[in-house]
Amino acid sequence: MNKNQGIFAGALLAVAILLRPLGVNVPVGSDSSRASQELPAAQTKGVKHVGVAQDGPWVASCDYWSPARPATDAEPARDAAPPAERAAAWYHELAEAIRGTESPDPGCGADSIRRWGFPERHVPIDITALIATVPDPVHTHLALAFDRTVDVILQAASDNGYVSSYYWLPWRVRPDALKSAESQGEREPGHDPVREREPGLIILKHVPDVSNVISPEDASPLSSFDKVIYLFLVAETPTEGVDGFQLQRAFGYESQLESILRAPDRYSRGKANGISIIGPWYSGSAASLRATIDGSCQSASAGDLPMRNADLEFFVMGSTATDLSKAQIKTPLPAGIQGPCKSTKIEYYSFSVDSRFESQALIKRLRGSGYDTAGFARLVEDNTGLGRALTTTFSDPGVLTIRFPREISLLRNAEVESDPSSGGAGSGSIPSPYLHFSVKDSSAQDSVPQFSHENTPLSQEAQLMTIARQLYQNDIRFVQIEASNALDGIFLARFLHRAYPDARLIVGNDLLMARDIDNAPFIGSISLGPYTLIGIGVSSASAVRSYSDSNSIGGYNAASYIFWQAVASPSESSDAGFLGPQLKSYLPLEGPHSARQTVLWASVIGRDGYYPLGVLSLHGNDRDSPEFLPGI
């Protein structure tokens, strides 16, 4: 009998080895996920569509709902089985593991519905789905912008009663691989293109305001674990726009969740019969966002994802800064090619100031104060939607507009660490307990790669030297810098401080320029915008926070408005006695309880932070463009 069992087991092992596909490994989970490091088999089986990842946002969903699913334990039955059956089962599992087709996990199935891991219908849950676009952290030099954007989105969620829990991201954190690959001109340095077609997911769970709970009996059963927001993350870049694959699948998953959960009343949208989107952040993303929205009602995006309803409305709140982005998002398709998308309606607002209005307000004040604005120049980045819009919509004949090379990351990364003229921590003169600020980064380019890493930085530096000489020859006194990447703007300000110190720089609001140890090149620089960085502000809330830059405040306001409109009750969202969304730098200027709005500030960088210069305009936006900095 034992001999027959051994022969049988050996035969099973041989069959398992023969059935193993060459070059196929058991899939491993994300190193950017709170889920387990090894992906359960439930997320690897049943994938029938080419180009669909075996790992995806459902991993975070499966893990989040695991406490609410009934536990299963099949091991006792196996232990009670005869030895021959136990051996056969063991070898069967071995063969399945070798082939990468293990049996599904009891909690999360392999199909497109069960893989999300939702508990049984009798368990009360309340899910709201939202979408946010974020700067691409690995295919661009915008990793800092990604971190800042995610931070302010989570801060806005927290102020509206939701905190982050499980997450899944399609991007892997591999800075060393990115840096080495970029040096060889690689376009996809160690990435998984199939995986990166999936949107990310952050699960936000509700934390109730305990001050409103008088007794345990008053607390709602949906007030904590069971009340969540599914926030899908979609990448965008200033040059390529939004990632169409990720956004299409985010739409598909939103529609899929609705079809799964709508009947038992466990699902809600951010806006009645609509989809709420936080973003975009770059003018170059507007056209692709509109195209993806229009295209998403024509076909499913991931094989088994249901087609969305073409009659849905879209509510978009972002922080772009040009009329071009507004027009591209709100303009419908031409008649005759609308197809099923003819009823698509998009409502769009931006919590950023219109750059054209901002510059015109400053120039008007300068002229009113007796300055010759022939001494005013604007440095605008080349080859992006922002640069194109700023050079075509701003036509003041007395202002010199100069384009600078957009992708100057090679030049930034070639910067000498110890520059005695910078006065920073790298000068070696005085030891400092503070970190040294460097404008270098290790991400990848989102445009055509540059291959000459030795001479291209020299060529770009020569271009900037020529620009500095042009400023000197035209006796320029004010230089405004417009850049999509904060590090590019800071680098240019440093460069002009050395190459042309006579000019007064007009730069973005960013605390990196006001750090005590690194602020020497920026002291006296002027910053414009509705969001100042003077201190950390005042609020009636129990706590306040500082923000890294003005763009982060605009992003916070956009996210906070979406969260408030989607899920917050009026009692949970009060700011200075005004029932409504929590918005930073919005003031009730037209009465104690009338519409709130922003003002356009001018501030200056001093030795110990930002100081106010004055108000350029009592209205932070152009009255002819109410989509920018809307009155609330």
pLDDT in tens, 22-31: 433 333 334 4
The predicted structure's pLDDT at residue 305? 58
The predicted structure's pLDDT at residue 500? 93
Report whether pLDDT(112) > 60.
Answer: yes
| Rounded Cα–Cα distance for residues 570 and 121 (Å) | 29
The predicted structure's pLDDT at residue 389? 65
The predicted structure's pLDDT at residue 23? 38
Report whether pLDDT(555) > 60.
Answer: yes
Q: What are 320's two structure tokens?
A: 């772009």
Q: Tell me the residue type at 434.
A: Y
Report whether pLDDT(233) > 90.
Answer: yes
CB distance 583 to 561 below 8 Å: yes
Task: Give the residue with greater pLDDT, 624 vs 455.
Answer: 455
Nearest-CA neighbor of 253 among 306, 185, 329, 328? 306
Q: What are 490's two structure tokens?
A: 């800071």
Count of Cβ atoms closer than 10 Å to residue 1 Cβ = 7
Span 515-529, average pLDDT? 89
Task: Give the residue with greater pLDDT, 235 vs 181.
Answer: 235
CB distance 161 to 572 below 8 Å: yes
Position 617 confidence tier, pLDDT thresholds 50, 70, 90? confident
Report whether pLDDT(282) > 70.
Answer: yes
Burial of 592 (0-12, 13-18, 19+ CB in 10 A): exposed
Position 319 confidence tier, pLDDT thresholds 50, 70, 90? confident
Q: What would the 3-class secondary structure string for 250-305 be?
A: HHHHHHHHHHHHCCCCCEEECECCEEEEECCCCHHHHHHHHHHHHHCCCCCCCCCC
Position 536 confidence tier, pLDDT thresholds 50, 70, 90? low
Cα distances (angstroms) measured from residue 398 to each of 224, 448, 468, 506, 622: 59, 34, 19, 17, 21
The predicted structure's pLDDT at residue 124? 81
Position 296 confidence tier, pLDDT thresholds 50, 70, 90? confident
| Rounded Cα–Cα distance for residues 187 and 163 (Å) | 36
Span 289-296, average pLDDT? 84
Report whether pLDDT(254) > 60.
Answer: yes
Region of poorest pLDDT, from 181-185, 251-255, 327-331: 181-185
The predicted structure's pLDDT at residue 277? 94
CB distance 446 to 237 below 8 Å: yes
The predicted structure's pLDDT at residue 551? 92
Region of poorest pLDDT, from 41-50, 77-86, 215-224, 585-594: 41-50
Q: Tell me the residue type at 454.
A: E
* Model confidence pLDDT, tens digit, residues 43-60: 333 333 344 457 899 999
* Model confidence pLDDT, tens digit, residues 75-84: 444 445 556 5
At CA 168, angle to CA 167 and CA 174, rounded to 5?
Answer: 120
Span 473-487, average pLDDT? 89
Which pairs from 218-223 meet CB under 8 Å and 24+ separation? 221/124, 222/124, 222/125, 222/126
Report whether pLDDT(186) > 60.
Answer: no
Position 228 confidence tier, pLDDT thresholds 50, 70, 90? very high
Put residue 185 in one of left, alpha, beta given phi > 0 → left and psi -120 to 50 → alpha: left
Q: Tell me the residue type at 195.
A: R
- What sign does the dihedral 492-493-499-503 (CA atoms) show? positive
The predicted structure's pLDDT at residue 165? 94
Task: Give the residue with greater pLDDT, 487 vs 309.
Answer: 487
Report whether pLDDT(1) > 60.
Answer: no
Q: What is the mean pLDDT of the chain?
A: 75
The predicted structure's pLDDT at residue 47? 34
* Model confidence pLDDT, tens digit, residues 432-455: 677 777 777 766 666 666 777 778
Nearest-CA neighbor of 284 among 40, 497, 447, 174? 447
Report whether pLDDT(198) > 90.
Answer: yes
Task: Give the residue with greater pLDDT, 185 vs 385.
Answer: 385
Region of poorest pLDDT, from 173-182, 242-251, 321-330, 493-502: 173-182
Span 270-280, average pLDDT? 81
CB distance 549 to 533 below 8 Å: yes
The predicted structure's pLDDT at residue 393? 61
Region of poorest pLDDT, from 341-355, 391-405, 411-425: 411-425
Residues above pLDDT 70, as percent of the chain: 65
Region of poorest pLDDT, from 220-229, 416-425, 473-482, 542-551: 416-425
The predicted structure's pLDDT at residue 207? 86
